Amino acid sequence: MACRISEFVLNCRDPETLARFWCEVLDYVELDRDEVDIEIGPRAGFGGAGPSIVLSRSDNPRNGLLPLHIDVSPTDRDRDAELERLLSAGAVRADVGQTGEESWHVLADPEGNEFCLLKDRIDPL
């Protein structure tokens, strides 16, 4: 038997803002919420092909560089067009020491959590 990643938990100051942002980026929907957390995920729901993301309210969401980050790949357009879409959704360019020769773009969500936009297109789920 093996495990599969079913969800990521991201501690954040403003789950509402990040839920809207990541739903736009990933074409996710809100799956569940309580007074502290908002869970977003694929339209098929929890346990499907892609993991859900739990955005958990925290007064101290991060300390320094995150040891884990999300990489995303375009599914229906080239990388440059997808970069423009992500920037319009609220992403910002981030500098984590890249040389400029990388085949990916480093971005940050509205709370500064870094993620990368990769070069290659992949099939949508």
pLDDT at 21 over 90: yes
The stretch 23-33 carries a mean pLDDT of 96
Specify if 63 maps to a domain.
Answer: no
Are residues 123 and 79 part of one domain? yes
Are residues 75 and 29 part of one domain? no
Are residues 49 and 79 part of one domain? no
**C-alpha–C-alpha distance, residues 84 and 87, integer Å:** 5
Are residues 93 and 49 part of one domain? no
Are residues 50 and 17 part of one domain? yes
Are residues 30 and 2 part of one domain? yes
Confidence of residue 120 (pLDDT cuts 50, 70, 90): confident
pLDDT, tens digit, for every residue of 57-90?
988 867 666 667 889 999 999 999 999 999 999 9
Strands of the 7-12 sheet, one edge to the other: 7-12, 52-57, 37-41, 29-33
pTM summary value: 0.87
Helix (H) or strand (E) segment spanning residue 80 = helix 79-89
**C-alpha–C-alpha distance, residues 65 and 7, integer Å:** 21
**C-alpha–C-alpha distance, residues 104 and 88, integer Å:** 18
| pLDDT score, position 15 | 96
Q: How many domains does the chain have?
A: 2
Helix 79-89 to helix 15-26 angle (10° resolution) is 160
